[in-house]
Amino acid sequence: MSNLILLILCTAILLCPKANAAEKLQASVQQFESSIENMPLGEIRSSKSVRPLDPRLWKGSLFNKELTERLLKDTRVSPTFWYRVPSWCAGRWESTEATTEYMKDHRSGNEDSNQTVYECRGRETIGHQFDRQKGIWNFCRENVWTHGQMQDYETNSFLFYSHPLRITQKEVVVLGKMAVFEVKAKGRIISSYKTEVIDTMTPFDDSALLDEQTKLVFNDEGKPVTTIKTQVLWKKISDFQPINDSKGLALKPLFTQFLKEQGLKDLIDE
């Protein structure tokens, strides 16, 4: 895997002497070193590679979740990372279909720009806590599992992290990195790979947002296999409401701790 994304704080703060503490943090939190080049959403270079998966996690091996987590988990990531999002992006969202607009096979060089619509059902929550000024903040979960059930196999995805690349009042751009394991009923891995996904979200109307995704897939040896560009339309299920517990984590104390560490005590909502 390439080096972890590094958060660059000092420069942005020095360039904003008149901004308040929250504005300084929000400006700095967008500055990341991305392992995907030619931002934003340009052609991803096919020569890019990532650290290979351990051979014990390759196709044909028995899937052992505890072993996999030990091999993948990075203890250097921050356990309490938050970033502020615009109000139009916050809430609970649901998707039913997606449209593939572009695909490139890096092994053959073949490209396909034919649009393909397919079923894509999912739910997403954006925004977890608000500050004293009613600014909405999203919590980044790191080193966590997600699970999916397909017709003939299940997917176990290990999310390394999901961090913002750019936040404005008109768009939210987020980079996520994960390892995915497709597993047959008897526990045998039928496919394993890493992915890097850039989501660029913009408001579509008052009750929907458009998510333009660019995904680069690496095989178990860490070599680029496919670039896929997809559009997903998310429909709003409900408006933002503070979430105080997420998968066993008490979020409000974590958010309060984060604000204190960032020198933003004036934003703590008692």
Question: Tens place of pLDDT for every residue, the chain, 270 residues?
Answer: 333 322 222 222 222 334 444 444 444 343 333 333 333 333 333 346 788 999 999 999 999 999 999 999 876 665 568 999 999 999 999 998 899 999 999 889 999 999 999 888 788 899 999 999 999 999 987 888 888 777 788 889 999 888 888 888 899 999 889 999 999 988 999 999 999 999 999 999 989 999 999 999 998 888 889 999 999 999 999 999 999 988 778 999 999 999 998 899 999 987
Tell me, yes or no, whether 211 lies in a domain.
yes
Quote the radius of gyration of the chain (alpha carbons, Å). 19
Tell me, yes or no, whether 2 lies in a domain.
no
Pairing of strands 208-218, 224-238: antiparallel
Domain membership of residue 71 as a residue range: 10-267
Tell me, yes or no, whether 1 lies in a domain.
no
Stated pTM of the model: 0.76
CA-CA distance, 123 to 133, in Å (whole number)?
A: 28
Tell me, yes or no, whether 33 lies in a domain.
yes
The answer to whether the Cα torsion of 212, 218, 224, 226 is positive or negative is negative
Tell me, yes or no, whether 120 lies in a domain.
yes
Split into its structural domains, the chain has a count of 1
Tell me, yes or no, whether 95 lies in a domain.
yes
CA-CA distance, 73 to 172, in Å (whole number)?
A: 27
Q: What burial class does residue 6 get, using C-beta atoms within 10 Å of its C-beta: 0-12 exposed, 13-18 middle, 19+ buried?
A: exposed
CA-CA distance, 134 to 213, in Å (whole number)?
A: 29
SS3 label, residue 14: helix
Tell me, yes or no, whether 42 lies in a domain.
yes
Tell me, yes or no, whether 135 lies in a domain.
yes
